[in-house]
Amino acid sequence: MTARILDGAALARAIREELKPEVVACTRAARRPPALHIVLAGDDPASALYVRNKERAGAEAGLVVHVHRLAATATLDELVALVGGLNRDAGVDGILVQSPLPAVMGPDAEARVFDTIDPRKDVDGFHPHNVGLLSQGRAVLTPCTPSGVVELVERSGVTIRGRRAVVIGRSDIVGKPLAMLLLQRDATVTICHSKTADLPAVAAEADILVAAVGRAGFVTPAFVKPGATVVDVGINRVTERDRVVELFGDGSARLADFDARGSVIVGDVHPAVADIAGALTPVPGGVGPLTIAMLLRNTVAAALGRLKPAPPG
């Protein structure tokens, strides 16, 4: 293994430390700490875990984090009404509705709910108004995972300007906003997806390659230009022992993990890429911790924004 490992967990800790004086200043100015309200609908165990992690990180950073729980049987109208109340509540700075929503709410439920959130409180950055501001280079609240990727790359000393960046995946949550952030930093950006012809060859043009496809080990060494920086956004749970052997080899620490727990978390990047990439983000411990740090930063930014007078118009 030759790639430098980009330690997202350590950077996330550093960013949370940097936030503390801002939280103190914001608390003094508003006479209360920045307040993040999370809505958790249903009983998805992974969502519950994500929300607990956000609660803990928020509390450690000096924020107030309040979790509103809705039963899996709650209706979309109930959820929209709850969000409407949080919009009107002057004590709420940031609103996050945890995805995925219960399937019974219907396929358009997330768009409907995200559209309902006051853009000034939209700490996920998913509201169309904030997506538009991001495209125009004037966003205040930027989606957390893409911001975390850029933060990790920049603070690792990797040059973005003038380099070729390839993003695999075109989701509204990662791929498209990340492309905009890299473009603003003067990368030449290519967006790839399931319909891309000869994907490995296109990916191998990248100086900075970002994988956000949601398929364990999808990005093999054939996708990677030697020396490239490879950012792995995937968080995939592998539950088949054969697949773990195939990815990490017999006798690997990951296989021991698997044998102890029955599953392992694996990124979109194949472990063999570590032999060819110049720098690589691990999974876990790469982009994931940054996502939460960026959520805290957005909450503080939203709280600070609310201390200013409302813009005209």
The catalytic residue among 124, 207, 232, 268 is 124
Q: Least distance in Å: CB of 75 to its own copies?
A: 14
Q: What share of the chain is helix, strand, coil (3-state, %, to 5)?
A: 45, 15, 35
Rounded to an integer, what distance in angstroms lies between the CA atom of residue 84 and that of residue 77?
A: 10
DSSP 182-248: HHHTT-EEEEE-TT-TTHHHHHTT-SEEEE-S--TT-B-GGG--TT-EEEE---EEE--HHHHHHHH
**Residue 173 backbone zone (phi > 0: left; psi -120 to 50: alpha; other: beta):** alpha
* Closer residue to its own copies in complex, CB, 47/188: 188
* Closer residue to its own copies in complex, CB, 195/308: 195
* Closer residue to its own copies in complex, CB, 131/273: 131
Q: Least distance in Å: CB of 170 to its own copies?
A: 6
Q: Least distance in Å: CB of 189 to its own copies?
A: 5
Integer CA distances (angstroms), 1 to 265, 266, 276, 278, 280, in order:
20, 17, 8, 10, 11
Q: How many CB atoms lie within 10 A of CB 198?
A: 8
In degrees rounded to 5, what are phi and psi of residue 66?
-120, 130
| DSSP letter (8 states) at residue 36 | E
* Closer residue to its own copies in complex, CB, 64/202: 202
DSSP 134-188: HHTT--SS--HHHHHHHHHHHHTT---TT-EEEEE---TTTHHHHHHHHHHTT-E
Place of tokens 């991001």: 134
Q: Least distance in Å: CB of 79 to its own copies?
A: 12
> Which spans of this chain sit near its own copies (rule: CB under 8 A)?
80, 84, 111-112, 115-116, 127-136, 138, 161-164, 170, 172, 176, 179-180, 183, 186, 188-193, 195-197, 202, 312-313
* Closer residue to its own copies in complex, CB, 31/161: 161
Rounded to an integer, what distance in angstroms lies between the CA atom of residue 274 and that of residue 4?
A: 8
Q: Least distance in Å: CB of 207 to its own copies?
A: 9
54 is catalytic: yes
* Closer residue to its own copies in complex, CB, 218/258: 218
What is the SS3 assignment for 266? strand
115 is catalytic: no
Q: Least distance in Å: CB of 157 to its own copies?
A: 19
| Residues designated as active site | 54, 98, 124
